[in-house]
A and B are shown apart, each in its own frame.
Chain A
Amino acid sequence: MATTKRTVEVELSTTGLDASGRPQRVPLVTDAAGNLVPVTAAPPVEPDLEGDHMLINIGPQHPATHGVLRLVLELDGETVVRCIPHIGYLHCGFEKTGEYRQYNQIIPYTDREDYLNSPGNNVAFALGAERLFGIEITERCTVLRVIAAELSRIISHCVWLGTFCIDIGAFTPFLWIFQQRERVYTMLENWVGARLTTTVTRVGGMAADIPDGWTEDLANFVRTFPKVLGECEAMLSKNAIWVGRTIGLGAMTADEAVNYGLSGPLLRASGVAYDVRKDFPYLDYETYDFDVAVGATGDVYDRYLVRVEEMKQSIRILDQALKRLPDGPVNVADHRVILPPKSKATSDMESMIHHFKQVMEGPRPPIGEAYVAVESPKGEKGYYMVSDGTSKPVRWRIRPPSFVNLSAIPKMVEGHLLSDVIAINASIDIVMGEIDR
Chain B
Amino acid sequence: MSEPSFLPVLAGHANAGDAPAPTTPKKVPHQGGAVNPGAAALEARFPGAVHRVDVVWGETTVIVAREQLADIVRWLHDDPSQRYDYCSDITAVEFRDMERPIEVVWHLRSIPFRRFIRLKVLLTKGEPLVVPSVYGVYRGADWLERECYDMFGIRFEGHPDLRRLLMWEQYKEGFPLRKDFPLRGRFSRSEQLRQILAQNPEAKYSMEELSVIDAFEDLPPDMRQRLGKGEQVGE
Which A positions have Cβ atoms within 8 angstroms of B? 18-20, 22, 24-26, 52-55, 57, 72, 74, 82, 84, 87-88, 91, 93, 95-97, 100, 131-132, 134, 136, 248, 254, 258-262, 271-275, 278-286, 294, 296-297, 366, 368-371, 373, 380, 382, 384, 386, 388, 390, 394-395, 397, 399, 403-404, 406-408, 411, 436-437
Per the 8 Å Cβ criterion, residues 131-150 of B in contact with A are 138-144, 147
- Contact A394 B95, beta carbon cutoff 8 Å: yes
Q: Please, how many angstroms separate the alpha-carbon atoms of A283 and B23 in the complex?
A: 9
Q: Which residues of B contact A18 (CB under 8 A)?
A: 2, 4, 6
Q: Which B residue's beta carbon lies closest to that of A373?
A: B88
Q: Helix, strand, loop or mixed for chain B's interface?
A: loop
- Contact A261 B11, beta carbon cutoff 8 Å: no
Per the 8 Å Cβ criterion, residues 56-111 of B in contact with A are 56-57, 59, 61, 85-89, 91, 93-97, 105, 107, 111
Q: Which listed residue (A72, A132, A273, A397) contacts B8, Cβ 8 A?
A: A273
Which B positions have Cβ atoms within 8 angstroms of A? 1-12, 21-28, 30, 56-57, 59, 61, 85-89, 91, 93-97, 105, 107, 111, 114, 116, 118, 138-144, 147, 151, 165-168, 176-177, 181, 183, 205-206, 208-210, 212-213, 215
Contact flag A53-B213 (CB < 8 Å), given A382-B107, A404-B143 = yes
Give 15 CB contacts A-B under 8 Å: A20-B2, A55-B205, A74-B209, A88-B165, A91-B166, A96-B183, A97-B183, A259-B85, A274-B11, A370-B57, A370-B59, A382-B107, A388-B96, A395-B91, A407-B143
Q: Please, how many angstroms separate the alpha-carbon atoms of A411 and B142 in the complex?
A: 12
- Contact B167 A294, beta carbon cutoff 8 Å: no
Q: Please, how many angstroms separate the alpha-carbon atoms of A96 and B183 in the complex?
A: 7
Inter-chain pairs besides A260-B139, A294-B8, 10 sampled, C-beta below 8 Å: A19-B5, A24-B2, A26-B1, A74-B209, A84-B206, A97-B183, A259-B140, A286-B21, A366-B30, A399-B88
Q: Which listed residue (A93, A297, A384) contacts B107, Cβ 8 A?
A: A384
- Contact A88 B166, beta carbon cutoff 8 Å: yes
Q: Which residues of A contact B61 (CB under 8 A)?
A: 369
Q: Please, how many angstroms separate the alpha-carbon atoms of A74 and B2 in the complex?
A: 30
Q: Which residues of A contact B210 (CB under 8 A)?
A: 55
Instruction: Please list the 9 inter-chain residue pairs (A to B) with the smallest Cβ-Cβ separation, ordered nearest first.
Output: A261-B140, A88-B166, A19-B4, A407-B143, A294-B8, A274-B11, A20-B6, A399-B89, A279-B11
- Contact A407 B142, beta carbon cutoff 8 Å: yes
Q: Please, how many angstroms separate the alpha-carbon atoms of A158 and B186 in the complex?
A: 41
Q: Which residues of B contact A26 (CB under 8 A)?
A: 1
- Contact B177 A87, beta carbon cutoff 8 Å: no
- Contact A87 B166, beta carbon cutoff 8 Å: yes
Q: Which B residue's beta carbon lies closest to that of A21?
A: B6
Q: Please, how many angstroms separate the alpha-carbon atoms of A274 and B86 in the complex?
A: 11
- Contact B21 A275, beta carbon cutoff 8 Å: no
Distance (whole angstroms) from the CB of B3 to the closest CB of chain A: 7
Q: Which residues of B contact A261 (CB under 8 A)?
A: 86-88, 138-141, 144
Distance (whole angstroms) from the CB of B178 to the closest CB of chain A: 10
Q: Please, how many angstroms separate the alpha-carbon atoms of A371 and B88 in the complex?
A: 10
- Contact A25 B2, beta carbon cutoff 8 Å: yes
Q: Which residues of A contact B26 (CB under 8 A)?
A: 136
Q: Which B residue's beta carbon lies closest to that of A272?
A: B9
Q: Please, how many angstroms separate the alpha-carbon atoms of A271 and B3 in the complex?
A: 11
- Contact A25 B1, beta carbon cutoff 8 Å: yes
Q: Please, how many angstroms separate the alpha-carbon atoms of A407 and B138 in the complex?
A: 12
Q: Which residues of B contact A366 (CB under 8 A)?
A: 30
Q: Which listed residue (B30, B93, B118, B205) contacts A394, Cβ 8 A?
A: B93
- Contact B212 A55, beta carbon cutoff 8 Å: yes
Q: Which residues of B contact A54 (CB under 8 A)?
A: 213
- Contact A403 B143, beta carbon cutoff 8 Å: yes
